[in-house]
Amino acid sequence: MIIKKHLSLRDILKFAGQHLTWLVPWMLLVTSLYYFTGWRFISIPWLPLSLIGTAVAFYVGFKNNQSYDRLWEARKIWGALVNNSRKFCTMVKNYSSTKSVDVQVHHEVRKEIIFRHIAYLYQLREQLLKPVPWEHVKLRWIYGSYNQRRREKVFRNFKKDLDQLEGMAYLSPEDKQALDRVHNKATQLLDKQTQAVQLLLNQHAINALQQIDLQTAINSFYEEQGRAERIKNSPFPRQYASLSFVFVGIFVFLLPFGIVGEFAKLGGAMVWLSVPVGSIIGFVYVMMELIGDYSENPFEGLSNDVPMLSICRNIEIDLLEMIGEQHIPKVIQAQENILF
């Protein structure tokens, strides 16, 4: 997630500046043909082109609105995970039964549940970051390799924090061994949580009503995980995404043919103004397309993703402080104005 209030020109060029390498030459080529060859017939009326531009702008705006909805829903899912995690763990810590129980044994079980929940959050994050075919890092040719490098750079910037995760022992050896045999590890960790809560009930550490509350909280994690997996595993409808790209491409292709004649009417060398003006207009449309395109997938490990690592760490800190742990990890700090 980018945390700067305003993007600088450098940030914008880093995001989409590579498209100027074909926009400017295309505008220059059409203008040169018009000026040096005298091919006036390549100029097309501005009115139909403006109608196309208006239609494309509305279409791209619709697509971007839907893309933002996916991004914002993803952020709301992780916001719900934050709230539900706090509620769940305070119940695990404080719920008790009036019957006589082995307090020390049940304290360890409660601590194990909270540790397992922290591991669950990091595991869910890891699963959501696995690339799927329609994400940018899976594209072919130069586009895929470019986004792979961008993704690798983000991971390098947070390497210290990611390496720290490897040394955290929140799961027992038995839990780790059990996870090696399953596909959806996050789901299995929630199942382990249900078993642990049932154990507390069977040993009279909690009563039946408290067990219902705890299971309701676990069920909420299933629901939020399912919502996140739906976004991850369901691509933005390709007819909208693909045709938006095609329509922008058609408009940018026709753009120099429409404006070169308009600037030629100003006389003399003024026709060459069509190159910078056309490049700017084309760049604006390309940027609008890219903004929506990169907002479709909020879990692909790029700079504008939901900052899952930071959210997991904040929850981890809250829960460890809640149970009185002494070794508390530090808050994730933004790197190069990006929170991961």
Supply the angle between the helices 238-264 and 46-94 in degrees, to the nearest 10: 140
Q: Average of pLDDT values for 4-22?
A: 85
Q: How confident is the model at residue 104 (pLDDT cuts 50, 70, 90)?
A: low
Residue 146 binned pLDDT confidence (cut-offs 50, 70, 90): confident
At 167 the pLDDT is: 61
Question: Three-class SS of residue 335?
Answer: strand
Contact between residue 169 and residue 118 where contact means Cβ atoms under 8 Å apart: no
pLDDT of residue 105: 63
| pLDDT above 70 (res 211) | yes
User: Within 10 Å of residue 36's Cβ, how many Cβ atoms?
Assistant: 8
Residue 276 lies in a domain: yes
For residue 279, give the H/E element and its range. Answer: helix 274-295
pLDDT on residue 212: 93
Average pLDDT estimate for 249-257: 94
- Asked whether residue 138 is assigned to any structural domain, the reply reads yes
**From the CB of residue 105, how many other CB atoms can be counted at a distance below 10 Å?**
11
Q: Does any domain span residue 332? A: no
Q: What per-residue confidence (pLDDT) applies to 186?
A: 93
pLDDT-based confidence at residue 99 (cuts at 50, 70, 90)? low
Percent share of the chain, pLDDT over 70 = 97
Residue 333 belongs to some domain of the structure: no
Instruction: Provide the 3-class DSSP secondary structure of residue 8.
Output: coil
Q: How sure is the predictor about 86, in pLDDT bands with cuts at 50, 70 and 90?
A: very high
For residue 334, being part of any structural domain is answered with: no
pLDDT for residue 102 is more than 70: no
**Residue 221: what pLDDT?**
96
Instruction: Report the domain count for the chain.
Output: 1
Residue 147 pLDDT class (50, 70, 90 cuts): confident
Which pLDDT value is given to residue 283? 94
Q: Residue 335: inside a domain, yes or no?
A: no
- Say what the pTM is: 0.89
Rounded distance between C-alpha atoms, residue 209 and residue 17, angstroms = 59
Mean predicted confidence (pLDDT) in 280-306? 90
Residue 220, CA distances (Å) to 77, 82, 121, 317 in order: 11, 11, 13, 21
More confident site: 100 or 200: 200
Residue 219 has pLDDT above 90, yes or no: yes
CB 99 within 8 A of CB 204: yes
| 185-202 vs 208-233: helix crossing angle, rounded to 10 | 180
Does residue 88 register a pLDDT over 60?
yes
338 domain residue, yes or no: no
- Structure tokens that stand for 85 in this block: 């995690």
What's the gap between Cα 47 and its chain centre?
Answer: 39
> What confidence category does residue 41 fall into, taking pLDDT thresholds of 50, 70 and 90?
confident
Most confident of 133-147, 186-200, 321-335: 186-200
Give the alpha-carbon dihedral of 136, 141, 146, 147, to 10 degrees. 10
pLDDT for the residue 264: 85
What pLDDT score was predicted for residue 101?
59
Q: Residue 203's pLDDT is what? A: 86
In a domain, 2, yes or no: no
Token look-up 């390098």 returns 156
Q: Which residues of 266-300 are buried (b: 16+ CB within 10 A; e: fewer)?
A: eeeeebbbbbebbbebbbebbebbbbbbbbbbbbb
**100 has pLDDT over 60:** no
**Domain range for 42:** 9-322
For the chain, give the mean pLDDT.
88
